Homo-oligomer: A and B are copies of this chain.
Amino acid sequence: MTQPTTDSSTLKPLVEKLSSRVQLDSKDRAAILALPFIAKLVERHHYVVREYEPAEYSCLILSGYAVRSKIVATGGRQIVSIHIKGEMVDLQNSLLKKADHSVQMLTQCKVALVRRENVLKLAMERPMVARAMWIDTLVDASIFREWIVNVGRRDARTRIAHLLCEFSLRLKVAGLGENTRYELPMTQEQLGDATGLTSVHVNRTIKVLEQDQLIERFNPRSIHVGDWRKLAEAGDFDTNYLHLSEDEAALAS
Is B95 a contact partner of A142 (Cβ separation < 8 A)? Answer: no
Per-residue CB proximity of A96-113 to B under 8 Å, as 1/0? 111011000000000000
Per-residue CB proximity of A127-169 to B under 8 Å, as 1/0? 1001101110111111011111101111000100000000000
Taking CB atoms, residues of chain B closer than 8 Å to A78 are 148-149, 152-153
On whether A240 and B52 interact (CB within 8 A), knowing A80-B148, A195-B152, the answer reads yes
Cβ contact of A151, chosen from B70, B92, B196, B241, cutoff 8 A: B196
Cβ contact of A154, chosen from B72, B80, B120, B140, cutoff 8 A: B72
Cβ contact of A145, chosen from B72, B80, B135, B236, cutoff 8 A: B80
The answer, yes or no, to whether A175 is at the interface (CB within 8 Å) is: no
Is B72 a contact partner of A236 (Cβ separation < 8 A)? Answer: yes
Is A196 a contact partner of B153 (Cβ separation < 8 A)? Answer: yes
Copies of this protein in the complex: 2
The answer, yes or no, to whether A24 is at the interface (CB within 8 Å) is: no
On whether A142 and B72 interact (CB within 8 A), knowing A123-B131, A131-B95, A134-B134, the answer reads no
- In the complex, A91→B131 CA distance in Å? 13
CB distance from A104 to the nearest CB of B (A): 14
Is A145 a contact partner of B243 (Cβ separation < 8 A)? Answer: no
Is A80 a contact partner of B149 (Cβ separation < 8 A)? Answer: yes
CB distance from A191 to the nearest CB of B (A): 12
- In the complex, A72→B152 CA distance in Å? 10
- In the complex, A241→B92 CA distance in Å? 12
Interface centre among A52, A98, A133, A240 (most CB of B within 10 A): A240
- In the complex, A124→B68 CA distance in Å? 31
Is A147 a contact partner of B149 (Cβ separation < 8 A)? Answer: no
Cβ contact of A141, chosen from B70, B141, B195, B243, cutoff 8 A: B141
CB distance from A209 to the nearest CB of B (A): 16
Q: List 11 A-B contacts (CB under 8 A).
A: A72-B153, A78-B153, A91-B138, A95-B138, A96-B243, A100-B240, A123-B134, A127-B130, A130-B130, A140-B141, A151-B151
Residues of A within 8 A of B (CB): 51-52, 68, 70, 72-74, 76-78, 80-81, 91-92, 95-98, 100-101, 120, 123-124, 127, 130-131, 133-135, 137-142, 144-149, 151-154, 158, 195-196, 236, 240-241, 243
10 nearest A-B residue pairs (beta carbon): A152-B196, A144-B144, A151-B152, A76-B153, A73-B236, A92-B138, A141-B141, A78-B149, A78-B153, A80-B145
